[in-house]
Amino acid sequence: WHLYKKRHLIENMFAKLKDWRRVATRYDRCAHTFMSAI
């Protein structure tokens, strides 16, 4: 069960990294959607 918890945390971390990479590269061209993503 301990490994399962850590796997869950790691998956969440990767999901957050993907979100921040999307924000950092300004994948959303429109300024409004960019600001709402933050």
- Residue 21 pLDDT: 67
- What is the residue range of 11's domain? 2-37
Region of residue 28 (phi > 0: left; psi between -120 and 50: alpha; otherwise: beta):
beta
Q: Residue-wise pLDDT tens for the chain (38 aa)?
A: 577 778 888 888 888 888 776 665 555 555 555 556 55
3-state SS, one letter per residue, for the chain = CHHHHHHHHHHHHHHHHHHHHHHHCCCCCCHHHHHHHC
- Residue 25 pLDDT: 56
Q: How many domains does the chain have?
A: 1
- Residue 31 pLDDT: 56
